[in-house]
Structure 1
Amino acid sequence: MTVLEVGWDDDCDSSISESIEAAIGEELLDEETDDLCDVVLLWWREDDGDLVDGLVDSLRPLADNGRIWLLSPGAGQDGTIAPGEISESAQTAGLVQTTATRLGQWQGSCLVARGYTKK
């Protein structure tokens, strides 16, 4: 499994990235790669710009049936994104949310393309 990490900055929780690397047995790909990936780990904050654009950009490197894990600051944190904005932006980008979970101070939302079929 290959995972591309996008939007990482000093405010991100490196233990999340490290846990993913340990689970897949590989380093995460960085934003400069041209490789296709199975998962995009997208760190996003309210002031990072238009979320729809960020999601559409994240679709480009995804292999068939790939998924985007959108990580945003949890409720009450600087940069929080309203849950309604996440679902609306996902829908506009042609995605649906399948899972939402809390990861430390971050909220994780798993997004897949409409019509996704699990292999």
Structure 2
Amino acid sequence: MSATADHADGKEQPNMAARLGLEAGWIVQEIGYDDDCDDDLRDAIRAVTGEEFVDEDTDEVVDVVLLWFREEDGDLVDAFFEILTDLKAGGVVWLMTPKVGRDGYVEGSEIAEAAPTAGLATTSTLSVTEDWSATKLVVPKSGRRG
């Protein structure tokens, strides 16, 4: 790889993470990590937040859940219910799914059906890497019980 290519890659990575609307100091819980996850995106997220990821065993309340999910990972509704435990009020879930034609692709209709069942609303979907799409989910203000 040339120095120019290295520079171009370095410039794109923060842009990927910036598109997710993350901020310095935010705690990100990562769930579903495997060898197929995009390490450049993960590095860019850590660079933006300045924090290491926490896993599903954390005792912390998190600002963001980064959920890597593939078709073979089981029931999406169950996955959503599990992640809501640690998410702070007003927090965001970024559901990372393989793009169309990639192994593990998850139909958009499956996400659209699973989200409201778990008390989440989808707000946007972005193409963040060559292989992964990111769907932003939030707990609607009227859906919070407190």
TM class, shorter-chain normalised?
Answer: over 0.9
Report the TM-score, using the length of structure 1 for normalisation.
Answer: 0.94
Match of residue 119 from structure 2: 94
Q: How far apart in 2 are the matches of 1:90 and 1:39?
A: 16
Alignment match of 2:90 (pick from 65, 79, 86): 65
Match of residue 55 from structure 2: 30
Alignment match of 1:108 (pick from 134, 140, 145): 134
Deviations 1:59-112 (A, max 9, x none): 110011111100010111010000011011001111111110011110100000
Match of residue 49 from structure 1: 74
Q: How far apart in 2 are the matches of 1:59 and 1:48?
A: 17
Shift of 1:15: 1.0
Shift of 1:19: 0.6
Alignment match of 1:4 (pick from 21, 29, 50): 29
Q: Aligned to 2:35, what secondary structure does the other structure show?
A: coil
Cα-Cα RMSD: 1.0
Alignment match of 2:38 (pick from 13, 16, 33): 13
One-letter code of the match for 2:48? A
Which runs of 5 or more structure 2 residues have no equivalent in the other structure? Answer: 1-25
Runs of 4+ more than 2 Å apart: none
Structure possessing the higher radius of gyration over alpha carbons: 2
Q: Aligned to 2:43, what secondary structure does the other structure show?
A: helix
Larger relative strand fraction: 1
Report the TM-score, using the length of structure 2 for normalisation.
Answer: 0.77
Which runs of 5 or more structure 1 residues have no equivalent in the other structure? Answer: none
One-letter code of the match for 2:79? G
Residues paired across the two proteins, number: 116
Higher relative contact order (CA 8 A, sep 6+): 1
